[in-house]
Amino acid sequence: MSRAEVERTFAALPPVRGRGFAGTWWGRAWLKALEDTALDGEQLRRGRKQAREGAVGAVCVRPGRVTGVVRDRDRTPYRSDVLLREFTEAEWDRLLEVVADRSGHIAALLDRDMPPQLAEDAAAVGVELLPGIGDLEPECGCEAWDHCPHTAALCYQLARLLDEDPYLLLLMRGRGERELLDELQVRSAARAAPHLPRAAEDAPPAPEGVPAREAFAAPGPPPLPAPPPAVTAPGRPPALAGGTDPAEGLDVAALEFLAADAAVRAQRLLAEALSPGHASSPIPATLTVWQDTVRLTAAGPPAPIAARLAAGCGRDRTDLARAVRAWEHGGAAALTVLEEEWVPDAAALARARVQLAAAWEEDEQAPELRAAGNRWTVVGADLQVRYGRDGRWWPYRKERGRWWPAGPAGHDPAAALAMPGADG
């Protein structure tokens, strides 16, 4: 491999505003490994602030290590390294077999994408592609024994680079992009070889060729049909009211509403099917009767139909209204957070506490929080954040003596509490 394949250097990135450092799921997984590993949330907060202010210089990525120079507030430079274990030859062999087995994985990597299914398939054969708790080992010139602000800042900066190029994670695991793609090409060719026609000693002689003009003139296989065009708006269902009375028990208005809802869902499903990466996306779970009732109510049916839905769901109107608001903020996942109270295990609780400790900057006054299960309530205020099983935070606000969803989920509890719906 060339030096460019085993080591890549990136110029210093400009300062970044806002709280987010990673937009892709694998970039967030990198930061989650950092937050799960670090013992001191204060160091993470300082490191995040330094990364945001542009204190990280050029970043060098190579197998097993990422290196950068981070300047402290007094401009003192510190060389900082974060180490990640390289895969063994056996692990690389299993990972490459998994990727070569599915053309969708190869296509995704060529598009500089890393579908979640790839990480799941790799884990199924014993290869943890993404770092986990304790996998990011820090080394810094400041001689801190754990993650310090300098190594934390370096990790936050690398998350921005990983967003653009997931091959950097594979490079840290020991393979450069060119080497990886070459090995995949060899394995793909080996898989195709048994299906190619093979000459046998007793096979009849090959027929003589035909003139090229005849070969080119012969019709080929029909081309594959083009994908259907995108639909910018749902179709308009027919009006069912006519000159004759409907059959007994048939609610025409309800049937028209369901037809309009079906058109909206069909348009949304088509848009999802035409989106990149759809083939490797997990199949969503089927909605329960209660979830579908909430979904239909959130669609804004006429008042008589809304009343029928409310009367038939087995819940009181306030329960249904809270459920509809949750659905508007996050669909079935938000509805689950509204209705489910659970106690995080030790690992999940540690992750939640690290996120809470790192959520507020040094110059910000963190609120006093009281914990109960997966819910943290602001003492002296009608505000609450709920920790979901997927590691996201959901804001809530107390209204009329009950907790109501106040906004969509996020990975930053401070940002969740600061949402307009949560701060009144």
Give pLDDT tens digits for 46-91.
998 999 889 999 999 999 999 999 999 888 999 999 999 999 999 9
Average pLDDT (149-166) is 91
Is the predicted pLDDT of residue 117 greater than 80, yes or no? Answer: yes
Query: How many Cβ atoms sit within 10 Å of the Cβ of residue 332?
Result: 16
Quote the pLDDT of residue 172. Answer: 92
CA-closest candidate to residue 227, choices 263, 187, 275: 275
Residue 3 predicted with pLDDT over 50: no
- SS3 readout for 88-149: CHHHHHHHHHHHHHCHHHHHHHHCCCCCHHHHHHHHHCCCCCCCCCCCCEEEECCCCCCCCH
The closest of 271, 324, 260, 335 to 298, measured between CA atoms, is: 324
Residue among 323, 325, 357, 328 nearest 340 (CA): 323
**Mean pLDDT score, 33-41:** 82
Average pLDDT over residues 349-377: 88
Model pLDDT, residue 2: 42
Q: pLDDT, tens digit, for every residue of 277-295?
A: 777 777 878 889 999 999 9
Mean of pLDDT over the chain: 85
The pairs formed by 265-269 with CB atoms below 8 angstroms and a separation of 24 or more are 266/234, 266/235, 267/231, 267/233, 267/234, 267/235
276-308 CB burial, b ≥16 within 10 A, e <16: eeeebeeeeeeeeeebebbbbbbbebeeebbee
**Residues 120-143: what's their mean pLDDT?**
89
More confident of the two residues 371 and 194? 371
Q: pLDDT-based confidence at 194, cuts 50/70/90?
A: low
Res 205: pLDDT: 66
Q: How far apart are CA 339 and CA 403, in angstroms?
A: 11
Helix (H) or strand (E) holding 370: strand 369-372
Which DSSP helix (H) or strand (E) runs through 59?
strand 56-62
The arithmetic mean of pLDDT across residues 31-42, rounded, is: 84
Is the pLDDT confidence value at 113 over 70?
yes
Tokens of 34: 């950092």
- Please indicate, yes or no, whether the overall pTM of this predicted structure exceeds 0.95: no
How much is the pLDDT for 28? 86
Q: Is the pLDDT of residue 44 over 80?
A: yes
Lookup: tokens for 153:
């800042």
The pLDDT, as a whole number, for residue 347 is: 86
Structure-model confidence comparison of residues 130 and 276, the more confident one: 130
Whether residue 126 is predicted with pLDDT greater than 80 in this model: the reply is: yes
Q: Is the pLDDT of residue 1 over 50?
A: no
Mean pLDDT of 13-42: 82
- Compare 140 and 208 and report the one with higher pLDDT: 140
pLDDT of 107 > 70? The answer is yes
- What pLDDT score does 112 carry? 83
Tens of pLDDT, residue by residue over 232-285, are 788 787 777 666 777 777 777 888 888 888 888 888 888 888 887 777 777 878
Whether the pLDDT of residue 208 is over 80: the answer is no
Q: Cβ(167)–Cβ(129) under 8 Å?
A: no
Question: Is pLDDT at 128 greater than 60 in this prediction?
Answer: yes
Q: How is the chain split into domains, by residue range?
A: 3-190, 346-423
What's residue 357's pLDDT?
A: 85
CB atoms inside a 10 Å sphere around CB 272 = 11
**Poorest-pLDDT segment among 31-35, 102-106, 299-303:** 102-106
Region 299-307 average pLDDT: 88
Which residues lie across from 66 on neighbouring strands?
A: 61, 82
pLDDT at 4 over 50: no
- pLDDT of res. 242: 65
- Which of 341, 340, 289 shows the shortest CA–CA distance to 314? 289
User: What pLDDT is stored for residue 233 in this prediction?
Assistant: 83
